[in-house]
Structure 1
Amino acid sequence: MANYSEKYEAVIGLEVHAQLLTKSKLFCGDSAGFGSEPNTHISPITLAHPGTLPKLNKEAIELAVRMGLACNCEIERKNYFARKHYFYPDLPKGYQLSQHTTPVCIGGFVKIKTVDGERNIQLNRIHMEEDAGKSMHDQEENYSVVDYNRAGVPLIEIVTEPDLHSGDEAAAYVTEVRKLVRTLNVCDGNMEEGSLRCDANISIRLKGEKKLGTKVEIKNLNSIRFLKKAIDHEVMRMIEMKEKGETIVQQTRGFNPDTETTFAIRTKEDADDYRYMADPDLPPFVITDEFINEIKAALPELGEQKKQRFIQQYALPEYDAALLSDDKELADYFEAAAVDSTSYKQIANWLLGPVKSVLNEAGKEINSLSIKPAQLVSIIQLVEEGKVSYTMAAQKLFPAMLQANGTTALELAQQLNLIQERNEDALQQLIDEVLSNMPEKVTEYKKGKKGLIGLFVGEVMKKSKGKADPKLLNQLVTEKLAN
């Protein structure tokens, strides 16, 4: 946990908004898809024409309950929607339908890991609501435009207690929530597209105090890195104000990623009065035990469960199992490869080494990899059979396979002249050439400077253009020097 000050501690609560992966919107049949032309996923219901009535999307309830069960929440049996009134151009009805008094999921926790260890972050609630449209102020010179495609898209808002104390903890928490929503197929977790976004409520207090300080809210943080930086900056800003004797006022603030600083949007002297009222057009919906049990029975394997299974089933070290199980797509790729090979540790090494390196460099995920699991296994088998060295496979063969179209690993290795030299007579000739050119080093080796073996092997490897089998070469050089 970050120690911002010997005197003060930060107290942080997060609100994470996750767009649910439903086909249609929360209260009508309009598409909830992302990326279409503006105002193409709209209807009289989305636009709040007079006389239109909402109809609740059952799939959204299922996804909300799924998330609640995974977060150890209590599921509310009788639920209502309320009208949250505020005027904004991207809100066609003049109010937002949200769960105010009866959130679908109550309490619960999310386990996080930081450098300080593991702990449970307590949740206050998870509730459903509809998203607003999107106002755009840079499309036209003299006026703003609104895209209503997003209006009415179902959201869940995952609200923590004021239970976090640093930017690091907040980043770990949102990372864990993103893994959960992706594993559960509740939300795609794409923060850059706005389908997962976060508001942070921050205050500071003297260490040992119980009373919370004046709260500042930072809105619409759309990356985990920005979340951490925004919190760290805001906490230090508040501490500096306290130390100068200045008064912290309740504000809504934004974050500027270029300067990595927060800025004031508006000051809030009192809590917002949204004039909540029960929606008369939506009857209460009841969640039965049978409904909950059906969802519970269909829950996918979560990260910690998968990690333990990988350790038991594939004999992987805990470190490898944790990294693989943290990423659903990576774990799926590993298991698909494990169908074709029992070299589980080698598969893990490749996925966490060369494969991950290529993906990170390209800024892509494993599901965009052009090499199928069976093809990766074929590369690993060439290394295990001694036909291609690991170095050549990782540095030459694997990158070439990414570009190849239908060529097998063996064919490509032959085309690239990567097949290892295992002809002992040919290798002996190269060894003789190297040793005859380094008589002084040979003498030093025979006098006890055994570390020189690496020099001799390296020189022979150069002469073979990297094609010599390193194990066989090391054996032959050692034998030659022993004579």
Structure 2
Amino acid sequence: MLDLTYEAPKPKVIAGAKHDWELVIGMEVHAQVASQAKLFSGASTKFGAEPNSNVSFVDAAMPGMLPVINEYCIEQAVRTGLGLKADINLVSAFDRKNYFYPDLPQGYQISQLYHPLVGEGEIIVDMEPGIARKVRVERIHVEQDAGKSIHDMDPHMSFVDLNRTGVALMEIVSRPDIRGPEEAAAYIAKLRQILRYLGTCDGNMQNGNLRADVNVSVCLPGQYEKYQETQDFSHLGTRCEIKNMNSMRFIQQAIDYEAKRQIGILEAGGKIDQETRLYDPDKGETRSMRSKEEAHDYRYFPCPDLMPLEIEQGWVDDIAASLPELPDEKKARFVKDFGLSEYDASVLTAEVVNAAYFEEVVTASGDGKLSANWVINELFGRLKKDDTEITDSPVNPSQLAAIIKLIKSDAISGKIAKDLFEIVYTEGGDPEKIVEERGMKQVTDTGAIETAVDEIIAANPAQVEKAKQNPKLAGWFVGQVMKATGGKANPKAVNEIVSAKLGL
């Protein structure tokens, strides 16, 4: 494992007109389970389908239709819990959360309040190289999603699309351990990374497959410590929930605005109303949506259509044995096995597909640091410029490894390697054959290099005298030799021969 220093949460302190204030943040993240069928029906979960085309009789709440639990969705939730080092409850139960809304045809949502599938866990949030913080996860419960109300198709009408109705969600609830907007974004980023590594959620925030309800409150310095001692939430101030955030940048902006709004009210002698708010990114502000309901307002009661869910420890153990290598473990291995810096290892393991690509390159090339340099700087840089995903990279791992091996064998210089990379990127082909066919091999014949050096020295006596007075000017001769040889001369040999000829 990496040698990490775990810091206690450092609150963001906001100076008010009368007091300093500290931020307290908790997250309720809704992650859509990666499953082709819904939680209680066999209807498709495919995104982008025609409105109301992925709807079964169960989803539409037709009379007499009973839900049947999708075992794969439960397996994915257990896998997520294990990935977050959480407790798995062998007995859990579903409840009905009752409320009326046009896109909820049943008039209730089937969720888990009293007996969730997954208990307490943790997420290690990377703040900077070598520094991490632990954010406690209170629970993960499985529930069905609601549909979608559409208000912008006609100014006089609203429409309802039930395609999302019944899609399986994992609600991942954190403790109020997050103390600033940057840490909130880092928490979401790390959770998303873990889910993608596990394959339990694709983390696609644009499609709403990962979205967060952000609970924000402010308190005076010292109050958070009192909460930790007593577990009395009243020390943390009244919280407001910012609903359905699907952008890390907007999450930070919304938290900043909401904290300042609450501080302004409190310092003016007012009181914070516990409510649900929405963030308007165009105006950069939150606005009231509705009063924040408590559990009893939803009249929760056990779902009479579903028996308690009982799973076996052996089944959980089998899932645990099938878990992939997770981001922190992979990053630690890259540092240990390939001699990478923690920063480079973090970049390469940010996405599971990036890490897999790098491993193929380093396995074929045999050089960890050089492979990391070329993947991060040359490949990632070019892909970003072209707005191309690594899965669509024109240069495959074998081709990039071949370029690196040519550098290591001194067959080509670093400059030639960049030209070669460009050819492979735009035209494709075998790097070794391209070097042979286009005469790109590096000149390592010292006799030929000496001849070029002698010619340039003989033609530039004034520059020779200057270089003897100021050895740094020897670089001019190196440049001239590289130019004369079309960049093919071995740079190390050129430097050594130039220095020797000039007597430096």
TM-score by length of 2: 0.89
Flag the 1:432–1:36 CA change in 2: closer, same or farther, 3 A.
Answer: farther
Aligned residue identity for 1:372: N
How many residue pairs are counted as aligned between the two chains? 479
Match of 1:248 in 2: 272
Deviation at 1:86, TM superposition (A): 1.5
1:438 CA drift (Å): 4.2
Opposite residue 118 of structure 1, the aligned amino acid is A
Aligned partners of 1:30 and 1:51: how far apart in 2?
A: 17
The structural deviation recorded for 1:360 is 2.7
In structure 2, which of residues 431, 453, 456 is the aligned counterpart of residue 409 of structure 1? 431
Long gaps (5+) in structure 2: 1-9, 227-234
1:398 deviation in Å?
Answer: 2.0
Aligned partner of residue 204 in structure 1, secondary structure:
strand
**Which residue is 1:207 aligned to?**
221
**1:368 has 2:392 as partner:** yes
1:474 maps to 495
Residue number in structure 1 paired with 2:88:
75
Task: Verify the 8 A CA contact 1:201 1:215 in the aligned structure 2.
Answer: yes
Distance across 1 between alignment mates of 2:132 and 2:486: 49
Q: Which residue of 2 aligns with 1:462?
A: 483
Letter of the structure 2 residue corresponding to residue 399 of structure 1: E
Which stretch shows the higher mean deviation, 225-234 or 150-159?
Answer: 225-234
Once the 2 structures are TM-superposed, how far is the Cα of residue 153 of structure 1 from its aligned partner? 0.8
Match of 1:17 in 2: 30
Deviation at 1:361, TM superposition (A): 2.6
Deviation for aligned residue 1:426: 4.9
Match of 2:286 in 1: 263
CA RMSD in angstroms, aligned pairs only: 2.3
Task: State the Cα distance separating 1:192 from its structure 2 match.
Answer: 1.5
Structure 1 contact 251–264 (Cα < 8 Å) conserved: no
| TM superposition outliers: structure 1 runs of 4+ over 6 Å | none
Paired residues of 2:254 and 2:286 also in contact (CA < 8 A): no
The aligned residue for residue 397 of structure 1 is 420
Deviation of 1:59 (Å): 0.7
Partner of 1:156: 170
Corresponding residue number in structure 2 for 1:377: 401
| Matching residue within 179, 187, 192 for 1:173 | 187
1:330 pairs with one of 334, 346, 354 = 354
**Mapped partners of 2:415, 2:63: distance in 1:** 69
Alpha-carbon shift at residue 4 of structure 1 (Å) = 2.6
What CA distance in whole angstroms lies between the structure 2 residues aligned with 1:212 and 1:257? 27
Q: Which amino acid aligns with 2:176?
A: P
* Structure 1 residues 244 and 389: alpha-carbon distance in aligned structure 2, compared to 1, 3 A threshold: farther
Q: Report how far residue 213 of structure 1 moved.
A: 1.1
| 1:343 and 2:367 are equivalent in the alignment | yes
Structure 2 CA distance for partners of 1:270 and 1:132, relative to 1, 3 Å: closer
Amino acid at match of 1:37: E
Q: CA deviation at 1:81?
A: 0.9
* Runs of at least 5 residues in structure 1 that lack an aligned partner in the other structure: none
* Counterpart for residue 37 of structure 1: 50
Q: Match for 1:140: what amino acid?
A: D
Aligned partner of 1:125 in structure 2 is: 139
Is the CA contact 1:249–1:267 (under 8 Å) kept in the aligned structure 2?
no
Does the 8 Å contact 2:31/2:211 carry over to 1? yes
Cα distance change on mapping 1:233 and 1:112 into 2, 3 Å: same
Which is further off, 350-359 or 141-150? 141-150
2:442 corresponds in structure 1 to: 420
Aligned to 1:235: 259
Q: Distance in 2 between matches of 1:393 and 1:187?
A: 39
Cα shift at 1:433: 4.8
Partner of 1:84: 97
SS of structure 2 residue aligned to 1:294: helix
TM-superposed deviation, 1:41:
1.4
Relative distance call for 1:431 and 1:8 in structure 2 (3 A) is same
Q: Give the Cα separation in 2 of the matches to 1:194 and 1:419.
A: 51
Query: Deviation digits for residues 295-354 of structure 1, max 9, x if unmatched?
Result: 111111112222233334334344433432333112211222233231222111211211
Question: 1:3: which partner in 2?
Answer: 13
Quick check: 2:240–2:276 contact (8 Å CA) kept in 1?
Answer: yes
1:287 and 2:311 are equivalent in the alignment: yes
Please tell me whether residue 138 in structure 1 is matched to residue 152 in structure 2: yes
